Structure 1
């Protein structure tokens, strides 16, 4: 998800993950930074892996790149640590850099960090910054800025989005050892820190940072911002990645409406758009001057059932609703076939992903039986809140409403605007959401602990919490993996999510724009990687 709404208190726990999953052979090892062999984020990691292999010799420089991004509202933010909607995420990717990053195949690689090394217990991490880093305006990036950024993110009086994944951080012992070296201490092992620091909402900002005057180290510098409408940025000629970015200006334009976004591309008002509706792929392909970017991903578009509110406070109802879904039909109709069937658990690219759980299939007879046992033998009526928050979401709601009729369930769709405003979506009894790829423990920290900032299902399972808390502090890979397998099985059986598919992210752009590459993490347009694109010579 993006991450959105107003962050709440820091949850009791999270952690990291390990082993392998057959499907990962297709992508290579992913994000597996574990102790003490956690040195995958050491100084030997390829700092430019995130950009992928460059397929150009001397790209053309200059021009303004105009990008239409799905979503946005008057609540838009430009704060490095409070990205809310897709447009916010696009901005923070380009204004700020993080200590680590995710490569195109979802490996953790170094970014601002030259190295990030744990001690034997993985409860103390030492980060060494690259030489010569500067913020927009020319001030050097120092270890004091790292300390300030982490302290700001985890401020107990005003926790930011990333605080949920670092509840065991010992803020009082954050220390700048010298100008380029910082020490990060935790009260217990924190084996998944590199992947946590790679999240888009954990950017490094200067000491004394003011989000009204946003300064970072990213490829573009701030120029203009009109919440709900547009933002404009200019090239950072001092960016630490040599030669990047290539365009002089970047304009990000809000397009909450799918039709308007597509028409802007067709009419030439923008050069690229995120999240092309899957039903419009053939339309775009019909234009010789346009192209489509398809990225198989770990993104997921769940239905969210509040486990603390009727009728979903009854586990049998939640089980029945999961059995109502014909997942292949959902992928075929809601995503026009652009996606793969999922199995009610998240973390697709996590090495600990429980791919051995039985694939859940539609079973209307069993669903009816469960509903009858729960006292709904004469039928059940529910409201499903939906919105155009991501390609395929509204379509999935419509498909589910049709599938539910077979089980005697009447689904009334409530299509709303400003879905994420003031965190109101966290109050819906039955709704939807979208999340980009994360490994299991990082994702759980955001949405599955009782006090997670985005606990949209209001999940507060004591057994699950105990297991995941223990896993987050378990250094041994095999032992941690066993615990995570147990945790996933619990959510699979009684959680509040219906996770029916992993959509292929489809974006569209003018063929004159070069440099976009597929990214499995789920964020569109190469994780909004506008630093690495350019305009073809006229």
Structure 2
């Protein structure tokens, strides 16, 4: 992580007054970052996400607002630690059979929900089962699909999988797989009764929510703030102004064009963390012309990736190669040829598709990612040199994820990525997955993904993931031109750990638990 430093919100008042290479560890260049955590204070945070269509249903969570809230008020069986490893949360320990097909998770005792109800193995079974089944519409459906049976043995929950999965404890850290009270043959998600370190007091989706520390949480080394107010501030300028004016203490997804100016403010610390976040353009491969792989390849060669990293990310990121795997992740394909802007190759693929030219429309909004519309304009300019007339359609921010994403055939998207490849591919690339935003299906990919998941030999597993990435890059329906660092800002009154997690934005979205007032 790199830190650059040079120096209860009333919503009505707020609206009236507001119209890079990452390093493994960091040293503050100013301000009070490194200090001993202590209790107290009311945190005010502005998030770049949040829409009126959000709900408490864990199967539907898909943006930074709902993810941040979920990590604060709910618990999961496991968690990804700042060093990238997986650690225990509601599961105190676990063990696997030699073939990694059967996993036994010992449930932590003495944990209660905010309502006072004790956590039981039955709650765990019901919460995971909520995402399973042929009729499930949960975005977590694909990652729990390999679970064939869940049973209870005393205080232990036993998972039997269709095949071996060495990454299964990572899978259970997914933000969708929160543990809720069992209710009938399902779970009570409507009440937002969690067992996390903060209690939700109220939520007005699309506006904000307030939370208070859970005095009965099972661990005492987290949750330093007395209370938290999180606002959905999708507008980039409003979010930045709120941080500068002191109306909020923290904002995510800074405007990279103004980071240099913000760094001059002695009251602000800017953090840059490299991880798995990537920005994409998803093509609906079930619709013409994107059902033709030559068209998809032409569009991939029509992107000037280096220019996007320079002008959209301002160097806070790296070039992507149409695979959702970060260069620092295990089994990253180092032998895959890097795609570059190549008008000749783009035109060749168009010709192979039987076309002399191509006209397409790209939907984008800042809700997709900061600079998404500008990225589309850059794409438009480079594509023109390839015989492609690309029209950029600026879509509304509110409702982008419900009305545009996976509704319009070509759209800008952001992904935070996942800690392991199987989780990312299962969530967004397997045929029929709820979040397969290119509607892509490939038999060889499906075969390899299942085999790689069960393979315990590291050398064989690497070969499979190398081939999987080659297939996704050269046959898939998603253009991934760049990986973006997580760049966010805090007032210098906020204390943060020396090392932050990079599996999600803002310390793995565990800021509510891991940060404090310095």
| TM-score (normalised: structure 1) | 0.85
Whole-Å separation in 1 of the counterparts to 2:147 and 2:64: 28
Are 1:202 and 2:177 matched, yes or no? yes
Deviations 1:217-252 (A, max 9, x none): 211001001111011111012222214311111111
Deviation of the 1:112 alpha carbon: 1.7
**Secondary structure in 2 aligned to 1:176?**
strand
Per-residue displacement from partner, 1:478-514 (whole Å, max 9, x unpaired)?
A: 3333222222111121111111111111101111111
Q: Which one of 186, 191, 194 corresponds to residue 161 of structure 2? A: 186
Give the CA deviation at 1:261.
0.9
Contact 1:76–1:87 (8 Å) recurs in 2: no
Residue 264 of structure 1 deviates from its aligned partner by 1.4
Cα contact 1:305–1:457 (8 A) shared by 2: yes
Are 1:429 and 2:409 matched, yes or no? Answer: yes
Distance 1:288 1:350 in 2: 35
Matches of residues 347-358 of structure 1 in structure 2 within 5 Å? 347-348=325-326, 349-358=328-337
Q: Which structure 2 residues correspond to residues 484-523 of structure 1 after superposition, within 5 A?
A: 484-515=465-496, 517-523=499-505
Match in the other structure for 1:470: 451
More strand by share: 2
Query: Which stretch has the larger CA shift, 269-278 or 134-143?
Result: 134-143
Alignment of 1:211-360 (within 5 A): 211-348=189-326, 349-360=328-339
What secondary structure, in the 3-state scheme, does the structure 2 residue paired with 1:472 have?
A: helix
- Pair 1:315–1:159, CA change in 2 (3 A): closer
- The alpha carbon displacement at 1:105 in A equals 3.1
Q: Which of 459, 465, 469 pairs up with 2:440?
A: 459
Q: What SS does the aligned partner of 1:132 have?
A: coil
The structure-2 alpha-carbon separation of the partners of 1:64 and 1:155, relative to structure 1 and needing over 3 Å to count, comes to farther
Query: What is the match of residue 374 of structure 1?
Result: 353
- Establish whether residue 168 from structure 1 lines up as the match of residue 138 from structure 2: no
Cα distance in 1 for partners of 2:410, 2:48 equals 23
Counterpart residue number, 2:426: 445
**1:475 CA drift (Å):** 3.5
CA distance in 2, matches of 1:91, 1:429: 30
1:201 offset after TM fit, Å? 1.2
Partner of 2:340: 361
1:411 has 2:387 as partner = no
Q: Is the 8 A contact 1:325 1:403 kept in 2?
A: yes
Relative to 1, partners in 2 of residues 1:424 and 1:397: Cα closer, same or farther, differing over 3 Å? closer
Q: Is 1:136 matched up with 2:111?
A: no
**Counterpart residue number, 1:40:** none
Aligned-pair distance for 1:116? 1.7
1:501-536 Cα shifts (integer Å, max 9, x gaps) = 111111011111112553322423542421222223
Which whole-Å deviations, capped at 9, do the CAs of 1:97-150 have from their partners, x for residues lacking one? 211111223222222222121111211110012342222233322222211211
* Contact kept? 1:77, 1:84, Cα under 8 Å: no
* Deviations 1:50-105 (CA, angstroms, capped at 9, x unpaired): xxxx9543x34222111100021111122344312221111101111211111223
Give the TM-score normalised by the residue count of structure 2.
0.88
Partner Cα separation in structure 2 for residue 476 and residue 437 of structure 1? 24
Q: Report if aligned partners of 2:182, 2:188 keep a CA contact under 8 Å in 1.
A: no
Distance 2:205 2:259 in 1: 29
Distance 1:235 1:81 in 2: 25
C-alpha displacement at 1:421, in angstroms? Answer: 4.5
CA pair 518-400 structure 1, distance change in 2 beyond 3 A: farther
Aligned residue for 1:426, secondary structure, equals coil
- Cα distance change of structure 1 residues 195 and 451 upon mapping to structure 2, 3 Å threshold: same
Structure 2 gap ranges (5+): 1-20, 26-32
Q: Distance in 1 between matches of 2:389 and 2:135?
A: 43
C-alpha separation between the residues in 1 aligned to 2:268 and 2:386?
43
| Cα distance, 1:380 vs structure 2 | 1.9
Match among 484, 495, 515 for residue 533 of structure 1: 515
- Helix, strand or coil at the partner of 1:446: helix
Residue in structure 2 matched with residue 397 of structure 1 by the alignment: 376
Cα 1:151–1:368 change in 2 (3 A) is same
Structure 2 CA distance, aligned partners of 1:224 and 1:158? 28
Distance 1:289 1:405, change over 3 A: same
Name the CA distance, whole Å, in 1 between partners of 2:460 and 2:500.
34
The 3-state SS of whatever aligns with 1:301 is strand
Do the aligned partners of residues 80 and 315 (structure 1) sit closer, same or farther apart at CA in structure 2, a change above 3 Å counting? closer
Residue 159 (structure 1) shift: 4.0
**Residue 408 of structure 1: CA displacement?**
2.1
Q: Contact between 2:270 and 2:489, CA under 8 Å: does it hold in 1?
A: yes
Looking at structure 2, the residues matched to 487 and 423 of structure 1 have their Cα atoms a distance apart, in angstroms, of: 31
Secondary structure, aligned partner of 2:76: coil
Cα distance in 2 for partners of 1:466, 1:79 equals 31
Counterparts of 1:80 and 1:303 in 2: how far apart (Å)? 25
CA 1:499/1:475 → structure 2, altered by over 3 Å: closer, same or farther? same
Match of 1:148 among 95, 101, 126: 126
Give the gaps of 5 or more residues in structure 1. Answer: 1-22, 29-53
